[in-house]
Amino acid sequence: MNPIEQNLQNVREKIATAATACGRDPHAVTLLAVSKTKPVAAIEEAIACGQRGFGENYVQEGVDKVLYFREAMPQVALQWHFIGPLQSNKSRLVAENFDWCHTVDRPKIAQRLSEQRPAAIAPLNVLLQVNISGEASKSGIAPADLPALAATVAALPHLMLRGLMAIPAPESDYARQLAVFQSMNDLFAQLKLHYPQVDTLSMGMTDDMSAAIAAGSTLVRIGTAIFGARDYPQHV
Ligand SMILES: *Cc1c(COP(=O)(O)O)cnc(C)c1O
């Protein structure tokens, strides 16, 4: 078994264990493989093991990979999620090439993404990024501003509001991880009351996926545990 195959199997087992431990169906948690900084060869190995959803943080690197796989494996339906900070001047590339964007945190970027999403393809699936740890994180909208942003996104024709995403401040204590994720799940429950199409709560990474699943995550974003440490400098 190659390392990525073994790692994927371990992560899937960890997801199943965390889900069953709290009475959830393991299939209710989607595994997103975060492939930022990793070569296409690593992604190919993951695809060979059945992985279909991939997350990328850097617009140009992500678009290069999307186009590569569209050409190289047109018969394989991959889902590409943009999960990095999004600047206005890069929104068109995201709107034209990705299936999901997890990091919408202001009305202006939502409007641009909708305008730039080609009408011939399905609406862009959108998650609203919430700044759940307050001062510790610079990205994401404050919980108090969520209803207004959700209303804006829900009204845009080429976006599909699917849920919420968070990157809490790093925290090694399980109980404290859980408390933050539970406050995300409360916001998610409120959002679902207003928007029946909302079904995705994106939270949990390599070091906190078990707590995220216990608190209701429906999608964990896992890089290191699948592909190993990111060992070359991240671009900006
Ligand atoms: C890099 C990254 C991940 C994956 O983190 P790991 O700790 O390597 O699993 C998940 N989500 C976002 C937004 C990231 O930037």
Q: Does residue 221 have its Cβ closer than 6 Å to ligand 1?
A: yes
How many angstroms separate the CA atoms of 120 and 236, rounded?
Answer: 31
CATH 3.20.20.10 fits 3-227, yes or no: yes
Q: Which residues contact 141 (CB under 8 A, 6 or more apart)?
A: 105, 106, 128, 129, 130, 131, 149
Please name which of 19, 138, 30, 7 lies closest in space to residue 85, comparing C-alpha atoms: 138
233, pLDDT greater than 70: no
pLDDT tens, 24-50? 999 999 999 999 999 999 999 999 999
Q: Does residue 224 have its Cβ closer than 6 Å to ligand 1?
A: yes
Span from the CA of 119 to the centroid of ligand 1 (angstroms): 30
Which pLDDT belongs to residue 2?
84
Q: Sorting pLDDT into bands at 50, 70 and 90, what band is 234?
A: low
Which pLDDT belongs to residue 134?
81
Query: What ranges do the domains of the chain cover?
Result: 3-227
User: Which atom of ligand 1 is nearest the CA belonging to 207?
Assistant: 7
Q: What is the pTM of this model?
A: 0.96
User: Which atom of ligand 1 is nearest the CA belonging to 57?
Assistant: 15
Q: Does residue 18 have its Cβ closer than 6 Å to ligand 1?
A: no
Q: Does residue 86 have its Cβ closer than 6 Å to ligand 1?
A: no
User: Which atom of ligand 1 is nearest the CA belonging to 224?
Assistant: 8
How many angstroms separate the CA atoms of 12 and 22, rounded?
Answer: 16
Which pLDDT belongs to residue 236?
45
Q: Does residue 14 have its Cβ closer than 6 Å to ligand 1?
A: no
